Structure 1
Amino acid sequence: MKEQETKSTWQLLEVANGKPIKLWTEGVPVENEARTQLMNTAKMPFIFKHLAVMPDVHLGKGSTIGSVIPTVGAIIPAAVGVDIGCGMIAARTSLTASDLPDNLAGLRSAIEKAVPHGRTVTRGGRDKGSWQDVPQQADNAWGALAPRFKAITDKYPKLSKTNNRQHLGTLGGGNHFVEVCLDEANRVWFMLHSGSRGVGNAIGNLFIHMAQDDMRQHIANLPDRDLAYFEEGSEHFDDYVEAVGWAQDFARQNRELMMQAVIKATRQVITKPFEVALEAVNCHHNYVQKERHFGEDVLITRKGAVSAKKGELGIIPGSMGAKSFIVRGLGNEEAFSSCSHGAGRTMSRTQAKKQFTVEDQIRATAHVECRKDADVIDEIPMAYKDIDQVMHAQRELVEVLHTLRQVVCVKG
């Protein structure tokens, strides 16, 4: 074991009064604030073995994004976050680059019409990112989710007043996107990134505040109030596990519905018949679930990390304008069989908007049919880490199957 560790690519960070931290960040910058946050999490008494840190690590709420947090007997709602079940779906088609129209604006427009995206806040008006009339497919999917949702809202009625049914099959904003990509053989892929939308956000926030309320007497002893937790066996622990599991299922279904809508929209633009899902992946990167590691059953919270069990397929997107990867897990147990969920930000959205201009955005995305306006500057490729360095740092965690480059990108 010792011999294997000396050859390993992770770096060890010992934490006084806490569990060690193993970082797969060779050649990738890690901000000091993120290190402090990791050390705070490592001091929680229920951490199992060690924290595993992915190369896209950066500052988050309570815990860093890009970390794998194994726990026994407790769960930290803020570590899971408010975009519960956020993740990626990708599918390879039988189309090739030569089947795409010379001008891709029509394809982007068709996808934008088919998938509600973005957000408008109006008094009493409809949010443009939700359905006005929920389509039949989304309603059928909601029918399967509704009974469990009712069980949750019976206990927490506040959650029924959320965007739930009308958000199923919609993209959202921020870094959520739909892309048409080409792989190394010029084959066309569809790929998108989204989570559990308004209802997942409401569930996350409700339980984060509930954990803080439950720990009111102890909150001052925590390294960060966002590390408030539920202990196994407590009433709210079981309720949270039930709600978070439901939100993760909503997120997976949300991505499936959008993928179907993207395929349908493309068929309206490209009349040549084509097959889809020749290779397909649907994976979460903000979630918690029970898993077996080092011979024990533990709760694994992946906050901006993807499961990478041996042979398991995953998706690691770069920023808009950079490449993305379809990967196969190597089942590295030291990393709790995980990998990064993307490139990871190097600066905040506010900082990116201050530092870069629309002209910078136009240059950086010259090869992509996408929005190039002031509202998407925070997603500029330069606000993210170098995806090649990120992939090199996790070469013991995954192997690359396909390298994708975007040709169309729809942002929320």
Structure 2
Amino acid sequence: MSTHHNHSHAPVPVKVFTDDIDEAAARQLQNVAALPFVHHHVAAMPDVHWGLGATIGPVIPTVGAIVPAAVGVDIGCGMNALRLSLRADQLPDNLAGLRAQIERDVPVGFAGHPDGRWCEAGLGRVAAGLKRIQAKYPVIDARWQSQLGSLGGGNHFIELCLDESDRVWIMLHSGSRGIGNRIGQFFIEQARREMERLDIRLPDRDLAYLAEGSALFDDYVEAVDWAQHYALENRRQMVRLILAALRHQVAQGRLPDFSVTDEAIECHHNYVAHEHHYGRDVLLTRKGAIRARKGDLGIIPGSMGARSYIVRGKGDPESFCSCAHGAGRRMSRAEAKRRFNRADLAAQTEGVECRKDKGVIDEIPGAYKDIDTVMANQTALVDVVHTLKQVVTVKG
């Protein structure tokens, strides 16, 4: 495909699965829809909201080009969930010890493992693919070895939840950590330089793209694929550490022995995949959306004071077989810090063993959309399999 596009064509339609969308997000979606390589239409999930670089919540099918900022910088960010044989009445009355054990065993925030090679098997599964990219682009470097099996900060979390039958679940949300951020930032900047070099004017500089057939396009697709594998391995290693933390509590006599059931779910919600939709093979970008093909199991978390859902996809074609990835923010982090205080946080997370200090006020439930409204807006996309309520939340 030529690297030159005609930018005067009519935009494709935008299908939005909610009425709750602000003007800034709607404008971002229209700008995406105006790109000449977008195929058929753009879909926006019920949790859609304005995002830095590109909207959070769109599903974008492209042919012949890709927009790095539409993928974002937390490449491969997603969720894991698994059910344990434990029941609610087997948990200790005071859950502070469980939270403290997980926080000791899983690095959170900017922290990583002191020994960068703590997990040889996990590192071996992801190491090889990065060497060629880093040899070509030395700037793409980060503490990815020590960060494998670490949570990060922001909206990333680890939770212990109870389902509708009072069974205990582990649920976690994290991505590709610092290395995914480096890859994303680097190629976003490279795409902007390409637009300048080719004198291509865009409605938003963050929609700078890389055209198929270019070396940058191939390198980006390879780097994104690596980061997605790294993010998945990162979550799997955290699951391993969380289970070890719980087994430590068993050894201390604070929990009965337990096993993992066969319900283990993994899903990305910031990623790119080769898929076929509306008669074309496309690169499908989901930024804040999960795949929901017919029968697919997925995880849709609320905020840290709200319910979360295990869902089964219905394979809706208008959504490109997708659904929302969570509640979605209602306000910026800065606005949340202005509007709420520690007392508000304590009230809104009552009954949840979690941080209640000023460092996580920007994650207060009131800063997020109502998860039940989001779910009501996507009954055509998914069926609810389990409803989860967190009792322990760990945040960086």
Q: Which band: TM-score by shorter chain?
A: over 0.9
Which of 116, 120, 143 is the aligned partner of 1:139?
120
User: Does residue 388 of the first structure (1) align with residue 388 of the second (2)?
Assistant: no
C-alpha displacement of 1:385: 0.5
C-alpha displacement of 1:17: 2.2
User: Does residue 24 of the first structure (1) align with residue 17 of the second (2)?
Assistant: yes
Against the structure 1 CA distance between its residues 37 and 402, is the aligned structure 2 distance closer, same or farther, given a 3 Å change threshold?
A: same
Equivalence for 1:150: 131
Gapped regions of structure 2 (runs ≥ 5) = 1-7
C-alpha RMSD over aligned residues = 1.3
C-alpha displacement of 1:384: 0.4
Equivalence for 1:122: none
> Over residues 356-387 of structure 1, what are the superposed CA-to-partner deviations in whole Å (9 max), with x where a residue is unaligned?
01000000001100000001000000100011
Equivalence for 2:5: none
Query: Helix, strand or coil for the counterpart of 1:370?
Result: coil
Which of 59, 68, 87 is the aligned partner of 1:77?
68
Task: Give me the TM-score of the superposition, normalised by structure 2.
Answer: 0.95
Larger mean Cα displacement after TM superposition, 362-371 or 55-64:
55-64
C-alpha displacement of 1:61: 2.4
CA contact 1:61–1:79 (8 Å) conserved in 2? no
Against the structure 1 CA distance between its residues 147 and 135, is the aligned structure 2 distance closer, same or farther, given a 3 Å change threshold?
A: closer
C-alpha displacement of 1:154: 1.4
Equivalence for 1:344: 328
1:349 aligned partner, one-letter code: R
Q: Which runs of 4+ in 1 moved over 2 A?
A: 217-220
Q: How does 1:251-266 map to 2 (within 5 A)?
A: 251-266=231-246
> Over residues 315-342 of structure 1, what are the superposed CA-to-partner deviations in whole Å (9 max), with x where a residue is unaligned?
0000001000000000001100000000
> Over residues 69-103 of structure 1, what are the superposed CA-to-partner deviations in whole Å (9 max), with x where a residue is unaligned?
11000000000000000000000011000110110
User: Does residue 62 of the first structure (1) align with residue 44 of the second (2)?
Assistant: no
Separation in structure 1 between the aligned mates of residue 345 and residue 103 of structure 2, nearest angstrom? 20
C-alpha displacement of 1:239: 0.4
CA contact 2:309–2:385 (8 Å) conserved in 1? yes
Equivalence for 1:130: 112
Q: How does 1:192-231 map to 2 (within 5 A)?
A: 192-217=172-197, 221-231=201-211
1:307 aligned partner, one-letter code: R
Identity of aligned residues (%): 57
CA contact 1:306–1:340 (8 Å) conserved in 2? yes
Separation in structure 1 between the aligned mates of residue 100 and residue 26 of structure 2, nearest angstrom? 42
Separation in structure 2 between the aligned mates of residue 385 and residue 194 of structure 1, nearest angstrom? 20
1:246 aligned partner, one-letter code: W
C-alpha displacement of 1:16: 8.6
> Over residues 181-228 of structure 1, what are the superposed CA-to-partner deviations in whole Å (9 max), with x where a residue is unaligned?
000000000000000000000000000000111111456610100100
Separation in structure 1 between the aligned mates of residue 217 and residue 68 of structure 2, nearest angstrom? 10
Task: Give me the TM-score of the superposition, normalised by structure 1.
Answer: 0.91
C-alpha displacement of 1:156: 1.0
C-alpha displacement of 1:19: 0.5
Against the structure 1 CA distance between its residues 399 and 363, is the aligned structure 2 distance closer, same or farther, given a 3 Å change threshold?
A: same
Matched residues, number: 385
Gapped regions of structure 1 (runs ≥ 5) = 1-14, 120-128
Query: Helix, strand or coil for the counterpart of 1:321?
Result: coil
Equivalence for 2:97: 106
